[in-house]
Amino acid sequence: MPRSKVLLPSDGSETSLKAAAYAARLMKVNPEMKLSVLVVVPESNGFEQLDKAIAKRGNEILEKTMLVFNNEGIKVQSFIENGDPAEVIIKYSERGNYDHIIMGSRGVSELRGAEIGSVSHKVIHLANCRVTLVK
């Protein structure tokens, strides 16, 4: 199988965890696959209490997502970035030369409390690499 570099954005929703499980299965079939988990949290708003809560929630989402890979004995990289989810995902994928993005199709973001269908829609249309959506 060809080597691939995959980005897995996660917002902690059910569909993003299904995407993580899907990616873990692919990694078992293709050990050459390199994967990075990306959690995007809102920009700092200058309120220390709120910023701490957002950072804590971002870490919790990352830990929950990483558990999918840890339980399978798979090592992956992980990152937390700040900003608009779709913009950060697209910029991050370009900057890191990822050739594939695997993400949940839509779900309820645990950070924003909003549907993320618009995020996956933007990523599909603006990413310069292959995108796989998991339901």
**Which CATH number is 77's domain given?**
3.40.50.620
Q: Which range of residues forms the domain containing residue 100?
A: 5-116+127-134
Asked whether residue 45 carries a pLDDT value surpassing 90, the answer given is no
Q: Is residue 54 part of a domain?
A: yes
pTM value? Answer: 0.90
Q: Is residue 35 part of a domain?
A: yes
Q: Is residue 122 part of a domain?
A: no
Q: What are the strands of the beta sheet with 130-134, ordered from one edge?
A: 77-82, 34-41, 5-9, 100-104, 130-134
Considering its fold, how many domains does the chain have in total? 1
When pLDDT is averaged across residues 19-35 and rounded to a whole number, the result is 96
Q: Is residue 121 part of a domain?
A: no
Q: Give Cα separations from 126 to 18, 62, 67 (angstroms).
A: 23, 24, 29
What pLDDT is stored for residue 21 in this prediction? 98
Provide the percentage of residues in the chain whose pLDDT is more than 90: 81
Asked whether residue 19 carries a pLDDT value surpassing 90, the answer given is yes
